[in-house]
Amino acid sequence: MLRIDALRAIYNQLEQCVVVTIMGAVSAELQSIGHQPNFFYLQHAMGLASSMGLGIALSRPELKVVVFDGDGSLLMNLGGLTTLARYRPPNLVHVVFDNESLLSVGGFPTATATGSDLAGIAHAAGIPHTATVHNLESFQQAFSQALDANQLTTLVAKVEAKGPPVFLTDLPLLENRFQFARYLKNLAR
Amino acid sequence: MPVSVTNSQLIYAALKACDIRIMSALPETWLVHLIRMADDDPQTTLVRLAKEEEGVGISAGAHLAGVKSAMLMQNHGFLQSINGIVSLARLYRIPLLMLISYRGEFGERDPWQTEGGSVTEALLNALSIPYTRLEEPAHVARRIRKAQALAESSLKPVALLLCRDLMWEE
């Protein structure tokens, strides 16, 4: 499964959500499909996308929050899984694109390449629903179920270690940040 | 435990007066009463962290979602959070209200706290983070209010150092 195909497959469902992504390929690919004001791209601070998603989900329980994480980022904040599990916001879907590598910095293998199981770790941390999917059809199905489930889910999608040739987009970081905050402010509470 | 309940209450009341709704925390001795107050307050969401840097993410998410938050941590937790402070809060102009218990200063008896104490202010200065000390009960409410005002207007982190004379009753 290619990550960009997975993103394309669920793109229409993101319209009704608030989306936080990690840096690098995930951010560039989602923007290549089409930027929306409800998408925030955390272009650094690896590991903190899930913590940001938790902060939004706790602040605005009426919103559905989707975090697009990665194996390299999540491995930098495994403790954060226990914090997610502790507060288990039902309005948060935590997707982890696991390509078993640090793709944007040379493709060196992460620990998932040698067997570390992120869905297993999330389950053991206490995340109420976890799954690992390996193909597009099962990803699409599992994502839709997670959106409807009203239960915190960590969904690990195994994807190929392939990404776009460049990661830089024409959306400045602060433009994205202020547009996103304004969008959330204007949404009826 | 001679952590000042009275002064912890002053700090907590000042945070409430600033409309703080989310407090992230990692326990440390001087913060015990503050954390209990947050936990007992139905209007406050206390987020207990595994590691302090997560609190930068929580506060960033809360700010973008329109909710005011504060971070309670030890100065070693501040040291632990520096990448998040730089590459999230500063990069994206996120206000952070950091209440940092200032261990390792004059009077410190725990040898393990002393290195952190000796670098805390140097690092705050290196990061251009405005900070002030909370030592006198009479200053607490005003300084917390002013710190939050500056964080919100500058869209940057600010720090309040919770000092021994305020937090610890010898």
Delimit the domains of chain B by residue range.
5-167
- Residue A42 touches chain B, beta carbons under 8 Å: yes
Chain A residues touching residue B62 (CB < 8 angstroms): 55-56, 58-59
Helix (H, G, I), strand (E, B) or coil at A117: coil
Residue A96 to residue A85: CA distance in whole angstroms:
15
Residue type, A35: H
* Cα-only R_g, chain A: 15
Query: Which superfamily does CATH assign the domain made up of A3-186 to?
Result: Thiamin diphosphate (ThDP)-binding fold, Pyr/PP domains (3.40.50.970)
The DSSP string of A8-58 is HHHGGGGGGSEEEE-STHHHHHHHHHH--TTEEE--SSTT-HHHHHHHHHH
* A37-86 pLDDT tens trace: 999 999 999 999 999 999 999 999 999 999 999 999 999 999 999 999 99
Predicted structure pTM score: 0.97
Chain A residue numbers with beta carbons less than 8 Å from the beta carbon of B59 are: 55
pLDDT in tens, B57-72: 999 999 999 999 999 9
CATH class of B5-167: alpha beta
Q: How many CB pairs under 8 A join A and B?
A: 107
pLDDT category of residue B47 using cuts at 50, 70 and 90: very high
